[in-house]
Amino acid sequence: AKLRGIDPQSDLAVVKIEAVRLPIAVLADSAKTRVGEFAIAIGTPFDLDYTVTFGHVSAKGRSNLLQGYGAAAMDQDYIQTDALMNPGNSGGPLLNIDGEVIGINTLIRGMHSGIGFAIPSSFAKEVSEKLIAEGKFTRAWLGIGIRALRDDLDMREPVKGVDNGVVVESILRGGPAAKSDLV
């Protein structure tokens, strides 16, 4: 296989295999995945090949999963499942009841907890297409810390008539926003 690209932040890579008539996994549109539907995790936990577990999609849109452990680098959402995963499941598919890939297994919250996370297949497809075309996946970033206006009581008073938005609370030194007029 030939490496086409790696995206360390999403824990995804694309390799090209020179072969014909290989079976192809069908990617589902993970945006259509519903909480409560069956989820099947396949992987190699503890070097036990072809291990299959099942459960349900527990939640969608999970983020900030590694608070204190590089959480700033996690700018994506995950599918949460109770299909049991262990070390070695990473990189394996999370399937729906029709055998379509709804996600790529990537994280667990504690051993034997029944709380696992998968990169949604729609995001994995977006990343893989960029890795194939450009060899990298570029993320936009401003280098600012924000919070919701609705959560900032001090700012709601001087900004009358605005119900939604964000408040810039910090600007990262050396980041793109540091060169702007933001203060």
d(CA 50, CA 116): 18
Given a cut of 60, is residue 142 above it in pLDDT?
yes
Model pTM score: 0.76
pLDDT tens digits for range 92-121? 999 999 999 999 999 888 777 789 999 999
Q: What is the per-residue pLDDT for 74?
A: 55
Given a cut of 90, is residue 132 above it in pLDDT?
yes
pLDDT tens digits for range 77-98? 999 999 999 888 899 999 999 9
Mean pLDDT of all residues in 62-86: 73
Q: What is the per-residue pLDDT for 65?
A: 67
What distance lies between CA 137 and its chain's CA centroid?
13
Given a cut of 70, is residue 29 above it in pLDDT?
yes
Q: What is the per-residue pLDDT for 183?
A: 66
Q: What is the per-residue pLDDT for 120?
A: 97
Dump the DSSP string for the chain.
-EEEEEETTTTEEEEE---SS---PPBP-GGG--TTSEEEEEE-GGG-TTEEEEEEEEEEEE--TTTTTTGGG--S-EEEE-S---TT-TTSEEE-TTS-EEEEEEEESSTTSS-EEEEEHHHHHHHHHHHHHHSS-------EEEEEGGG-HHHHTTSTT--S-EEEEEE-TTSGGGGSS--
pLDDT tens digits for range 12-24? 999 999 999 999 9
